[in-house]
Amino acid sequence: MNFSRGTLTVAALAGAAALALAPTATAATTYQISVVPPLGTVYANNLVTLGALVTPTPTGTDGSTPVELEITEPDGDVNTRTIPLTLGAGTAAIRTHEAGRYTVVFTFAPPNGTPAETTTQFDAVASPGLGLGS
């Protein structure tokens, strides 16, 4: 086959333009979740604050992805909550319904990064009475 120099030049320029305009391949960011479990004594039938810190700080569409919580209560009931993130951190208040061990799975599944998951546990003790006589 015979190609003119002009045809080869146009083909080379078209190929170079296609490569230049192609989206660049970047490695997905690998995230980690650090949790702030309850500090001190946790009583049943109270609110407990749980915190999550995602590092490195997610940006772009990853930054608007919340952390999902799956909370397993001592009796086996499972509840879910979300923690919206601000600069990679956020908190959620959960109610402890009964005394016993609570297990919380934190999941961060960003659209452009590698999902991260971590688990924490804490114990709730029976709420003290008001001390009023009957």
pLDDT tens digits for the chain (134 residues)?
A: 555 555 545 444 444 444 444 444 445 689 999 999 888 889 998 999 999 999 999 999 999 999 999 999 999 999 999 999 999 999 999 999 899 999 999 999 999 989 999 999 999 999 886 554 44
Question: What is the sign of the dihedral through the CA atoms of 78, 62, 25 and 7?
Answer: positive
Please state, in angstroms and rounded to a whole number, the distance separating the CA atoms of residues 74 and 85. 28
- Position 47 in a domain: yes
Q: Find the domain containing 41 and state its range.
A: 29-122
Report yes or no on 13 lying in a domain.
Answer: no
**β pairing state of 42-43 and 116-125:** parallel
Tokens of 89: 């951190």
Whole-prediction pTM value? 0.74
What domain count does the chain have? 1
Residue 5 falls within a domain, yes or no?
no
What is d(CA 81, CA 56) in angstroms, rounded to the nearest whole number?
22
Q: What pLDDT score was predicted for residue 54? A: 95
Residue 41 has a pLDDT of 87
